[in-house]
Amino acid sequence: MRILGILLSGLLSGWLFWNVSSAPNATEKDELLLEILNYVLERGHYDPKIIDDTFSENAFHQYLEGLDGQHRFLLQTDINTFKRYRYAIDDEFKAHNLNFFNISHERLLSRMKQVEKFYPQLLETPFDFSKPETISLDYENLEYASTVTELKNRWRKRLKLSALDRYADKKKEERKKKEKDSSYIMRSDLELEKEARELTLENTQEYFELVNDLERKDWFSIYVNAIVMQFDPHTFYFAPEDKDRFDTSMSGKFEGIGARLQKRNQEVKIVEVISGGPVWRGKLLDVGDAILKVAQKDEDPVEIVGMRLEDAIKLIKGPKGTEVRLTVKRVDGTIEEVPIIRDVVELEEVYARSTIIQKGEKKFGLINLPKFYIDFKDYGERNAAIDVKKELEQLKAKNVSGIVLDLRNNGGGSLKTVVDMTGYFIKEGPVVQVKSTGGRKEVLSDTDVGIVWDGPLVVLVNEFSASASEILAAALQDYKRAIVLGSKQTFGKGTVQNVVDLNRIITGNTLGDLGALKVTTDKFYRITGESTQLEGVKSDVVFPDRYQYVEMGEKDQDNPLAWDKITPANYTTWNATYNYDFIVKQSRYRIQQNKFTPLLEEQARWVADQQDDFEYFLDYDSFANDQKEGQTRSKKFEALDDFDSQLQFKWLPEAGMLAKVNEDYTEKRNRWVEALDRDFYVNEAVNILDDMGISFKSQPLSQRKN
């Protein structure tokens, strides 16, 4: 991007004088890295933070979270020792000093060795699964153990919970075998307990093997990110290996399960299911599911709770055709094992796709856009704007009466494609305002007076619609060009990041690869002058969904940039013949009267409750009853799958597609429209289009200054 070029040229011009040619060593490299990061953040970040004692204290707590977030190793006495650095991290960062990191790193390694020596002893004695006990996994509010004895007891409980989980699974397996074959002799509880304990021992050994594989540089990355992420949640340091993985992820193809993962509160969660991948094809996982364990085919599972995300991903990814078994906790709290055959995941499914929707005698169209994709090397190549235009023209040729633009789960992408795409629905005018590092403001506008689609338009969004999606939805809403239907608000990410190769900041570097920094350089604003940061885009019509009470937006991240507003742009609103207030009132009434709405609301509240439940029973009867209650409750919500829109869907091949449609392509499209037929939100979007009417016409209002 142009902004990246400006940023890099400014940084490089200030640092070309520094020639590093001394003999390499780890300390010198780390000190150099801190110095360069300090410089880049101070001059390149959109909103540089004051690096003071408050900054230091926040970095201190975030570092401890990354170092030992589950309080597995460190004691309160260790934390007390560290506290003398609580207000010193800012000074050490500025002075490129490693004292605190060195002390904390050495202490952690010492405690880990201590735990590694005593945990096998805890698994030598059989667990009493009849003894009433509980354990809390609320790590954010859990105090550090005050003594080694207390730490041992915590480890005992965690190991017991792990063994109990396996024991309960084995009890179920035995009962199923008995049901299938009445002559089968079930194994005793003592045998099952011993086997579960042995598996827990093996799993814990594997965990320590992974932890022991971590090098000093891995822990130093945690320390560095505790500092740089104080600027905002999207500023992040990539160590050399991490940068390589980042580059690989941008290639558009990889081998794995086809899901994007994120770590939160020590859990690895599904944040996106990639269309066309193994998970998507088998309907195996959902957004919000947490992965607890990972097992290769014919091997015992490895617990990944508390494990580094990168290490968990290493276990989950693998060659095409191999099997991985994931133990997942569903968003409703139920736990099950899911086998997945890895495959090549083509990111071609981020491409725009469309379908015809038949409602009685009327035809409508829907365009699904999972991402604002682009080839930065050649804009003339395939990109989101070009593809959406083709789909619009294809739908127009089918004489549709209205169009739904589905931006749900669209996390953003290219800004240029957003500007071009907005122009398909308006005559001309500003689309988004961008304020860059240094305060420079630019208004990006559609200058093409041509309109591709001037008919009824509904934009679908949810909590995962972010960044570029929010720009498009906001622009169409501000122009009063479309009705936005979906969650209460979108994600609320109103910032843009650029990746700076830190190796380009200096010359003659012999200390080794320094990695890269993803740094926030710009902020987006609506044409009204309001930021999309934190606030996102508020839907005109809100439809309840199961994630509405779960904290997952920008405002729920650590250190997000603030919401603000700037001077509005001059723009002309769109004038339609339909009555906006009436349309919205009708839609809200239908949603209120929908028999599924109360169940959706109940599901949403239950999901939120499950997310906040950190208490677990350690006796079998209570543990099993708790699981049974959860499964019974989740079955109640299976009634939501009974919804049938009574609409008819016919997907269209991608506009201009030259290749012959194959079986895999057909299966993907069939699966897609089958899901749309049971989609509450698509059904209501069509109802809104129907209310708008085929007489939808437009006349621009007089120019107004805002």
* 513 inside domain: no
Residue 607 placed within a domain: no
pLDDT at position 341, please?
Answer: 94
Q: Is residue 649 part of a domain?
A: yes
Name the amino acid, one letter, at 623. Answer: F
Tell how many helices (H) and how many strands (E) occur in the chain.
20, 22
In a shared domain, residues 107 and 44: yes
Q: List C-alpha distances in Å: 314 to 159, 210, 256, 261, 292.
A: 24, 11, 10, 12, 14
The answer to whether 156 touches 632, Cβ cutoff 8 Å, is no
Domain of residue 188: give its range.
Answer: 2-233
Q: How far apart are the first and last CA of the chain?
A: 30
Residue 184 lies in a domain: yes
Q: Assess whether 18 and 157 both reside in one domain.
A: yes
Asked if the structure places residue 662 within a domain, the reply is yes
Read off the pLDDT band of 249 (50, 70, 90).
very low
Hey, how many other C-beta atoms are within 10 angstroms of the C-beta on 169? 16
Which structure tokens are listed for 315? 């276990």
Structural tokens at position 269:
């969660």
Question: In the numeric block, which tokens belong to residue 483?
Answer: 């009705």
In which band, very low, low, confident or very high, does the pLDDT at 244 lie, cut at 50, 70 and 90? low
Same domain, 291 and 355: no
Which among 40, 85, 32 has a CA at the least distance from the CA of 499?
A: 40
Question: What gap in Å lies between CA 278 and CA 341, rounded to an integer?
Answer: 7
Domain boundary among 296, 319, 347: 347
Residues 441 and 540 in one domain: yes
Confidence of residue 77 (pLDDT cuts 50, 70, 90): very high
Residues 375 and 400 grouped into a single domain = yes
Q: 79 and 188 share a domain?
A: yes
Same-domain pairing of 293 and 199:
no
CA 372, CA 73: separation in Å to the nearest integer? 44
Cα separation of 497 and 163, whole Å?
A: 44
Sign of CA dihedral 601, 607, 612, 613: positive
Give yes or no for residue 479 having a pLDDT over 60.
yes
Which CATH number characterizes residue 375's domain? 3.90.226.10
Of 299, 320, 347, the domain-final residue: 347
Residue 517 lies in a domain: no
Pull the structure tokens for residue 150: 């207390």
556 with 590, same domain: the answer is: yes
Q: What are the backbone angles phi and psi of residue 564, rounded to the nearest 5°?
A: -155, -175
Please indicate, yes or no, whether residues 46 and 192 belong to a single structural domain of this protein. Answer: yes
| CB distance 29 to 515 below 8 Å | no
pTM of the model: 0.76
Q: 340-343 contacts: CB < 8 A, separation 24 or more? A: 340/257, 340/278, 340/279, 340/282, 340/284, 341/278, 342/255, 342/256, 342/257, 342/278, 342/317, 342/318, 343/255, 343/258, 343/277, 343/278
Angle, CA of 262, 267 and 269, to the nearest 5° = 40
Residue that the structure tokens 């608000």 belong to: 489
Tell me which residue of 322, 313, 325, 319 sits closest to 341, measured CA to CA.
322
Name the most confidently modeled range: 23-32, 352-361, 436-445: 352-361
In the structure encoding, which two tokens stand for residue 601, read together?
A: 């609301």
Number of domains in the chain: 3
Q: Do 127 and 273 sit in the same domain of this protein? A: no
Q: Does some domain include residue 614?
A: no
Q: What single-letter DSSP state applies at residue 425?
A: T
22 and 117 co-located in one domain: yes
**Is residue 185 very low, low, confident or very high in pLDDT (cuts 50, 70, 90)?**
very high
Q: What is the pLDDT of residues 374-429, one digit of tens each?
A: 866 666 667 889 999 999 999 999 999 999 999 999 988 888 899 999 999 999 99
- Asked if residue 261 and residue 158 are part of one domain, the reply reads no
> Is 417 in contact with 384 (CB distance < 8 Å)?
yes
Q: What is d(CA 369, CA 418) in angstroms, rounded to the nearest whole number?
A: 12
Helix axes 468-478, 415-422, angle to 10 degrees: 20
The residue among 325, 347, 369 that closes a domain is: 347
Q: Is residue 266 part of a domain?
A: yes
- pLDDT at residue number 349: 65
Domain CATH code at residue 275: 2.30.42.10
- What's the pLDDT tens digit per position in 598-618? 999 999 998 888 888 889 999
- Residue 193 CA to residue 126 CA, distance in Å, equals 7
Chain mean position to CA 565 = 27
pLDDT tens sequence across 267-319: 888 988 877 789 988 889 998 899 999 999 888 899 998 787 778 888 998 88
